[in-house]
Amino acid sequence: MKTRGLLLQILSLTATLFPTLTNVRAEAAPATIHVGPTHSIKNPAAALEAIAKSRTNHPNQSIDIIIADGIYQLDQPIVLSPQHGGTAQAPVRWKAAPGTTPTFSGGTPITGFQILPNGLWSAKLPENLPPFDQLYVGPSRATRARHPNQGFLMLTGVKEEKLEGDRARQSITLKPQDLTPLANLSQHAFRSVQMLAYHKWDNTRRTLESIDTSTGSITTVGRAMKPWNSWDTHTGVIFENFRAALDQPGEWFVETDENNPKIRTLLYQPRPGESPESTTVIAPHLQQLLILKGTPDRKLTHTSFTGIRFLHTGWPSPPEGFEPQQAAASIEAVIQADHTENITIENSTIAHTGIYGIWFREGCKHNTVRQCHLHDLGAGGLRSGTMNLPATPQSASSHQTFDNNLIRHAGKVFPCAVGVWIGHSGDNRITHNDIGHLPYTGISVGWRWGYDHSEAKRNLIENNHIHHIGDGLLSDMGAVYTLGPSEGTIIRGNHIHHVVSHTYGGWGLYNDEGSTGILMENNLVHQTKSGGYHQHYGKENTIRNNILAFASEQQIQYTRAEPHLSFRFTGNIIFWETGKLLGGGGWKDGKVEFSNNIYWNSAGKAPDPIPGDTNSKFIDPLFKSPSTNDWSLPPNSPALTLGFKPFDASKAGLYGDPIWIATANKTH
């Protein structure tokens, strides 16, 4: 009995001194909830009740929700509230069954296709299927019938008539021959046509009020144009959603019975190798798939999602279309969170969307997105924070980690969206991501025009591979773009290349309005249109130890002079073939500090000296082979003498599993 009593005392003392020991034991035996066709819980949404019950009855026990293989077609988004979350000692984990890749889908399969004599596929749509503006055929997005099939048509003139409030009528002209496919549309068909305008860094989506194809004249009504971003003769437009535009493989159109709108027929022109028997066709009926919804007083915490695919969502355009908004910042996300902490999404796929991928919006802290593949996105990829300053400390979002993700081929519905967007949000880590093939900016940090307070402080943008930005569609962009006071933000070790704007503004590193207190160092930037670095206006930024190479128009641009120190530019290597060294109008009266830089034009043409530049040289840095992307320096490089510190640009981008990295190369 004495021995038994002593043992009980030891166990009691152990639990007191080492309380986590009992938690570790609880973690070792989690509750398991199986979801799948052969289990009692058939779909993911049905697991919520079991999770809440387990959390109530066993609050110290972790929960594993094991999702069997298969496609789970959701009727509505899965909404998790605090009762479905875990704790640090007892997390809740949603994960794919071993060796499987289950899919949460927001789409409806379309079947029953017939092949018409002209080769088109035709299928009647279910009456209860909501209208859709996107379609996914096989492994890729199909194209809603459009004119022209590639690029866009250029406006030849624009006039605006003010209406009530902020409304206005825009009258535009194009070459009459550009509108030939739109001739002779019925009134019913004409009402369904949408025009998408590409202007500077933005897009406007509208229906048409009138059209005269003989003169190339069109009118449309919406918000009045902003003076800083109006339509002009540099604006390109496309027209979507009319039958005559269905003229290319991969295009589709929904034909609606004029007498009975409930009768709708999907027409699709197949791509080579596709057949109705072996090709899946999916129309989205949901915009979002997963909503994580805590409250300021009770957050949703310690929940993870691993190995799941989130696919097939849409964005049905409202009758009024979409008015211009930088970065499409109001557009929501397939996975959207408010008031969460310690949420992890990893080894998962978000694809075939009409909107953004993942957004930690309000009151979100210490969340992680790791090794996820986001592609074929209607808008952009990952987001943290809000467009407005947080009303309370509880509503601020910060400390997100976006690491080792592949973000490719975005902006399919909203070309002005960005790969990673950081609004009024600080202390985020954006590291080792591969971001490419976006019509607009790769990473955008900050949401304040000017010098008033911003929450976007101390963000780390490090070791990302950002490439093929712009694609010649929009203007005024950066691979990394900053906006407003961002003291403590560091942009380091990124490999940036191929930034091509439509007209002006295809920059690698871009400090826009009010950018303050930002350090940019050890970045490799090459093959940009408008310059490796540009500062519109800002204060006390430092650009050091970067390689800026092969910009077409100018290498460095500085737009607005101000009475304070705008930026320090020191220890950089500038290497170019065409264009000039400096661009912009800020050099004469602005305050900048230049020192210890190497400048080299491969044609041997020395630039004019930069006023006040100290200890810099016009001399060949002796890169080993820039033409093959080998930027290494020999021991006798004069750049080393001036203090340049070599860095390894190959560290930028994805890391880890070779199969994961190979995925990036396949989707290039």
Question: Considering just the CA atoms, what is the radius of gyration of the chain in Å?
Answer: 28
**C-alpha span between 152 and 503 (Å, rounded):** 14
**Contact (Cβ atoms closer than 8 angstroms) between residue 406 and residue 654:** yes
User: Mean pLDDT throughout 299-320?
Assistant: 97
Count of all residues that appear for the chain in the document: 668
Alpha-carbon span 161 to 167, nearest angstrom: 9
What residues have CB less than 8 Å from 188, skipping those under 6 apart? Answer: 256, 258
| pLDDT tens digits for range 43-79 | 999 999 999 999 999 999 999 999 999 999 999 999 9
Task: Dump pLDDT digits (tens) for 270-305.
Answer: 999 999 999 999 999 999 999 999 999 999 999 999
> To the nearest whole number, what is the mean pLDDT of the chain?
94
Q: What region, left, alpha or beta, does residue 340 occupy, with left being phi > 0 and alpha being psi -120 to 50 degrees?
A: beta
Q: Give a three-class secondary structure readout of 180-228.
A: HHHCCCCHHHHHHCEEEEEECCEEEEEECCEEECCCCEEEEEEECCCCC
Convert 21-32 to b/e letters by CB count within 10 Å (16 or more is b).
eebeebeeebbe
Q: Are 360 and 334 in contact (CB under 8 A)?
A: no
Give 664's pLDDT tier (boundaries 50, 70, 90).
Answer: confident
Span 441-473, pLDDT tens digits: 999 999 999 999 999 999 999 999 999 999 999
Q: Is residue 430 part of a domain?
A: no
Q: Can you give the pLDDT at residue 12?
A: 46
The residues, any chain, with a CB within 8 Å of residue 203's CB and separated by 6 or more, are 196, 197, 322, 324, 328, 414, 415, 416, 474
**Which position has the higher pLDDT, 4 or 383?**
383
The string of DSSP codes covering 29-48 is S-EEEEESTTSSB-SGGGHH
Q: Three-state SS for 171?
A: strand
Instruction: For residue 584, give the H/E element and its range.
Output: none
Query: Does residue 255 surpass a pLDDT of 50?
Result: yes
Q: Are 518 and 486 in contact (CB under 8 A)?
A: yes
The encoded tokens of residue 491 equal 């942009």
For residue 148, being part of any structural domain is answered with: yes
Q: Stretch 412-430: mean pLDDT, rounded?
A: 98
How many CB atoms are closer than 10 A to CB 214?
10
Q: How far apart are CA 148 and CA 247, in angstroms?
A: 10
Task: Let me know if residue 388 belongs to a domain.
Answer: no
Residue 7 has pLDDT above 50, yes or no: no
Does residue 30 fall inside a structural domain? Answer: no
> Phi first, then psi: what are they for 222, rounded to 5°?
-170, -150
Q: What is the mean pLDDT of residues 548-572?
A: 97
Q: Is the pLDDT of residue 8 over 50?
A: no
Instruction: For residue 527, give the 3-state DSSP assignment.
Output: strand
**Residue 172 in domain:** yes
206 within 8 A of 195, measured Cβ to Cβ: yes
In a domain, 264, yes or no: yes
Q: Which amino acid is at 95?
A: K
**Residue spans of beta strands (DSSP E) within 578-637:** 580-583, 591-595, 598-601, 617-618
Distance, in Å, from the CA atom of 325 to the CA atom of 199, rounded to the nearest integer, reads 11
Measured distance CA(196)–CA(203) in Å, rounded:
7
Distance CA 60, CA 87 (A): 8
Give the pLDDT mean for 334-347: 98
Task: Check whether 1 has a pLDDT greater than 50.
Answer: no
Q: pLDDT band for 28, please (50, 70, 90 cuts).
A: low
Number of domains observed in the structure of the chain: 1
The predicted model gives 530-544 an average pLDDT of 98
pLDDT for residue 2: 42
Spatial distance between the Cα atoms of 488 and 227, rounded to a whole number of angstroms: 33
> Vertex 139, ends 405 and 318: CA angle to 5°?
85
Task: Reply yes or no on whether the pLDDT at 82 is more than 60.
Answer: yes
495 assigned to some structural domain = no
In this predicted structure, the answer to whether residue 20 has a pLDDT above a threshold of 90 is no
| 662 vs 99, higher pLDDT | 99
521 pLDDT higher than 80: yes
Beta-carbon count within 10 A of 2 CB:
6
In which band, very low, low, confident or very high, does the pLDDT at 258 lie, cut at 50, 70 and 90?
confident
Is 220:206 a contact under the CB 8 Å cutoff?
A: yes
Measured CA to CA, the distance from residue 610 to residue 590 in angstroms comes to 12
**Residue 39 and residue 654: Cα distance in Å, rounded?**
37
CB 369 within 8 A of CB 358: yes
Residues 371-415: pLDDT tens digits?
999 999 999 999 999 999 999 999 999 999 999 999 999 999 999
At 668 the pLDDT is 58
State the DSSP H helix or E strand holding residue 459, giving kind and residue range, or none if neither. none
pTM to 2 decimal places: 0.94
- 602, with CB counted inside 10 A (0-12, 13-18, 19+), is middle
The boundaries of the domain holding residue 145 are 109-282
The answer to whether residue 21 scores a pLDDT higher than 60 is: no
247-261, 342-356, 424-438, 479-493: which range is least confident on average?
247-261
Mean pLDDT of 427-439: 98
SS (H, E, C) 377-418: CCCCCEEECCCCCCCCHHHCEECCEEECCEEECCCCCCCCCC
Digit-coded pLDDT (tens) for 608-654: 888 889 999 999 999 999 989 999 999 999 999 999 999 999 999 99
Q: How far apart are the C-alpha atoms of 663 and 541, rounded to whole Å?
A: 36
Residue 263 belongs to a domain: yes
